[in-house]
């Protein structure tokens, strides 16, 4: 570990000899078992939506504590199917402006309308006060997001939904393994939708899962992922090709028993990050809801240049020289995405979202990240702060 040496951007030795990724799928310890299962699947000839998918759906439902889980090809199609299952023909879906674009894409492809809500400045989740202000007669669904696996204010959202006769579908893409007041995320709303993509604490490499206690929603998603028919090829509804393959289910089945321990590892790393960086000026962290457990799908810091000495982009550049990958996430936010000109608004329209999106930087976070690696990252950040003035001069050509 580098001590008393200039940062790499100032010709010092990089903190790491090889690039440290910002994310990494939690499957390395299970590769041999996964490969064995994949061989059995390929030899059987039953590749899609068969035995392993059924086992994964049952195991996931038992883990979450719901009646049904339904596996899909990806989280975006799962969100689309969950929205379609509500049988809403027209209306607005309220979502946070600070989220991954797929949250909005699912609404777009179901012909419903997107209504943006600002985020809470501390927790990064949907702001309840702004949510209440944004509800109109056209509102039909609230789709909150557990940002980075930090559970939303579920009780407050439930109350708002009941007071206004709104459905609730949680975009729980980051939330598999999180807990809200002792209960697993996945038990709330009309349905919750998880992602199994490689960056998550639970992964199927690619895939999605819809969890629900509503039998009608479950049936609608079930046939909807299979072109819209129940097995007789007579389509009841225009569905999707959104079935999960057996190979992806095999990955999920092998990793599912280790989700809780992986989440604990991520929380331990997050605690280490905070402990070692909290005294640095100009850095703030996402606050986790009281009585909740976050999956820490990402670990983010907010960078204030006036106090830290460098802005988010400058810090990212300096860390890259240390062979430390970072990510500006979510940036740009939904109200600044090119694909939604109708949502474009001045930063003042979503002040909390704008401040977070413009200053957020995600540090490496994955289940196999070691304490030594995390300490090295924090030492790099400390060193960059110490030499902030000199780095500024280097980056901007000042003498």
User: Where residue 20 sits, what CATH number does that domain have?
Assistant: 3.90.1150.10
The tally of domains found in the chain comes to 2
The residue range of the domain holding 351 is 8-24+259-395
- pLDDT above 70 covers what percent of the chain? 98
Please answer whether residues 315 and 303 qualify as being in contact, where contact means their C-beta atoms are separated by less than 8 angstroms.
Answer: yes
Residue 328 and residue 315 in one domain: yes
Q: Tens digit of pLDDT for each residue in 113-130?
A: 999 999 999 999 999 999
User: Where residue 220 sits, what CATH number does that domain have?
Assistant: 3.40.640.10
For range 382-386, the mean pLDDT = 97
Please answer whether residues 387 and 393 qualify as being in contact, where contact means their C-beta atoms are separated by less than 8 angstroms.
Answer: no
Q: Tens digit of pLDDT for each residue in 305-314?
A: 999 999 999 9
**Domain end point (choices 257, 279, 310):** 257
Residue 218 pLDDT class (50, 70, 90 cuts): very high
**Smallest Cα–Cα separation from 99: which of 329, 300, 287, 328?**
329
Residue 130 and residue 190 in one domain: yes
Taking phi over 0 as left and psi of -120 to 50 as alpha, with beta for the rest, 293 belongs to: beta
**What's the pLDDT score for residue 276?**
98
Q: How far apart are CA 52 and CA 153, in angstroms?
A: 34
Residue 37 and residue 19 in one domain: no
Q: Tens digit of pLDDT for each residue in 325-371?
A: 999 999 999 999 999 999 999 999 999 999 999 999 999 999 999 99
Residue 168 and residue 201 in one domain: yes
Question: Which range, of 63-72, 252-261, 310-319, 390-399, averages the lowest pLDDT?
Answer: 390-399
**What's the pLDDT score for residue 260?**
98
Residue 246 and residue 384 in one domain: no
Please answer whether residues 276 and 282 qualify as being in contact, where contact means their C-beta atoms are separated by less than 8 angstroms.
Answer: no
**Domain end point (choices 210, 239, 257):** 257
Residue 248 and residue 122 in one domain: yes
Q: Tens digit of pLDDT for each residue in 6-19?
A: 999 999 999 999 99
Q: Is residue 3 part of a domain?
A: no
Residue 129 and residue 165 in one domain: yes
Residue 397 reports pLDDT greater than 90: no
Secondary structure letter of residue 11 according to DSSP: T
Q: Is residue 377 part of a domain?
A: yes
**What's the pLDDT score for residue 2?**
59
Q: Tens digit of pLDDT for each residue in 77-88?
A: 999 999 999 999
CA torsion, ordered 142, 145, 151, 154, to nearest 10 deg: 0
**What's the pLDDT score for residue 49?**
86
For range 55-68, the mean pLDDT = 98
Residue 381 and residue 315 in one domain: yes
**Domain end point (choices 211, 229, 257):** 257
**What's the pLDDT score for residue 107?**
98
**What's the pLDDT score for residue 289?**
83
Name the strand (E) or helix (H) holding 117: strand 113-117
Residue 399 reports pLDDT greater than 60: no
Residue 14 and residue 59 in one domain: no
- At 123 the three-state DSSP class reads coil
Q: Is residue 296 part of a domain?
A: yes
Q: Tens digit of pLDDT for each residue in 267-311?
A: 999 999 999 999 999 999 999 988 999 999 999 999 999 999 999
């Amino acid at each position: 570990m580098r001590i008393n040496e200039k940062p790499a951007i100032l010709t010092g030795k990089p903190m790491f000899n090889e690039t440290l990724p910002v994310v990494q799928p939690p499957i390395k310890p299970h590769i041999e078992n996964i490969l064995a299962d994949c061989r059995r699947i390929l030899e059987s000839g039953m590749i899609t939506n068969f035995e392993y998918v059924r086992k994964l759906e049952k195991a996931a439902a038992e883990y979450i504590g719901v009646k049904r889980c339904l596996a899909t090809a990806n989280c975006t199609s799962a969100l689309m199917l969950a929205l379609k299952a509500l049988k809403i023909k027209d209306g607005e879906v309220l979502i946070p402006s600070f989220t991954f674009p797929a949250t909005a894409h699912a609404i777009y492809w179901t012909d419903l309308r997107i209504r943006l809500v600002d985020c809470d400045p501390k927790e990064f989740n949907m702001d309840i006060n702004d949510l209440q202000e944004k509800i109109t007669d056209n509102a039909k669904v609230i789709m909150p997001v557990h940002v980075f696996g930090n559970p939303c204010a579920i009780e407050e959202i439930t109350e708002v939904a009941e007071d206004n006769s709104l459905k609730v579908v949680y975009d729980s893409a980051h939330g598999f393994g999180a807990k809200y007041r002792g209960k697993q995320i996945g038990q709330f709303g009309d349905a919750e939708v998880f992602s199994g993509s490689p960056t998550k604490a639970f992964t199927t490499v690619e895939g999605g899962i819809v969890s629900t206690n509503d039998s009608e929603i479950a049936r609608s998603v079930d046939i909807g992922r299979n072109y819209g028919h129940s097995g007789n090829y007579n389509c009841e509804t225009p569905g999707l090709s959104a079935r999960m393959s057996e190979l992806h289910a095999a990955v999920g089945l092998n990793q599912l028993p280790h989700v809780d321990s992986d989440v604990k590892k991520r929380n331990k790393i997050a605690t280490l990050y905070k402990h070692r960086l909290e005294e640095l000026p100009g850095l703030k962290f996402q606050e986790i809801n009281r009585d909740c457990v976050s999956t820490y799908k990402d670990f983010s810091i907010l960078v204030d240049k006036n106090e830290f000495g460098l802005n988010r982009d400058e810090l990212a550049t300096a860390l890259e020289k240390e062979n430390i990958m970072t990510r500006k996430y979510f940036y740009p936010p939904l109200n600044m995405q090119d694909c939604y000109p109708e949502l474009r608004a001045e930063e003042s329209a979503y002040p909390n979202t704008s401040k977070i999106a413009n200053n957020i930087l995600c540090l490496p976070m994955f289940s196999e990240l070691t304490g030594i690696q995390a300490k090295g990252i924090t030492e790099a950040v400390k060193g960059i702060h110490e030499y902030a003035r000199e780095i500024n001069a280097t980056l901007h050509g000042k003498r």
